[in-house]
């Protein structure tokens, strides 16, 4: 059964490897296999692939074998970058990083057991 740690919607933008490690630590505390981060919580540099922010953050999740779901509308970013658009498409075909419209879409991708397990419970962060 996959569990999801949902990161809170308010706060400073996330933009560093240190931020990723904080999310991973919170997921481990919650016993979660996935972290769901609202797209608006990510700094714009995350969506500018040339900055390396996304690669650095996603690599931390991959190293620790925690899935990362970016939840929300990223269309303004993908409209501005064909490279980002391709990365989102390819990520959604994989198993470690997904871009989803909402928590219901994430729950559906992870399977019905997630909904029963209480995916989407807000975190204390």
Identify the H or E element spanning 15: none
Is the pLDDT at 7 greater than 60, yes or no?
A: yes
pLDDT band at 118 (very low <50, low <70, confident <90, very high): very low
Tens digits of per-residue pLDDT, 59-94?
999 999 999 999 999 999 999 999 999 999 999 999
22/17 Cα distance (integer angstroms): 9
List, in sequence order, the alpha helices (H) in the chain: 17-30, 53-63, 75-80, 82-93, 103-110, 112-117
Per-residue pLDDT, 111 = 86
> Strand, coil or helix: what is 35?
strand
């Amino acid at each position: 059964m996959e569990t999801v740690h949902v990161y809170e919607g308010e706060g400073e933008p996330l933009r560093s490897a240190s931020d990723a490690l904080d999310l991973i630590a919170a997921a481990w505390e919650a016993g979660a296999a996935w972290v769901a981060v609202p797209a608006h919580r990510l700094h714009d540099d995350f969506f500018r692939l040339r900055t390396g922010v996304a690669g650095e953050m996603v690599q931390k999740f991959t190293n620790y074998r925690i899935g990362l779901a970016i939840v929300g509308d990223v269309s303004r970013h993908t409209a501005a970058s064909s490279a980002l658009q391709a990365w989102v498409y390819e990520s959604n075909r994989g198993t470690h990083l997904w871009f989803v419209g909402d928590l219901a879409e994430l729950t559906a991708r992870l399977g019905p057991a997630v909904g029963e397990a209480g995916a989407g419970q807000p975190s204390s962060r």
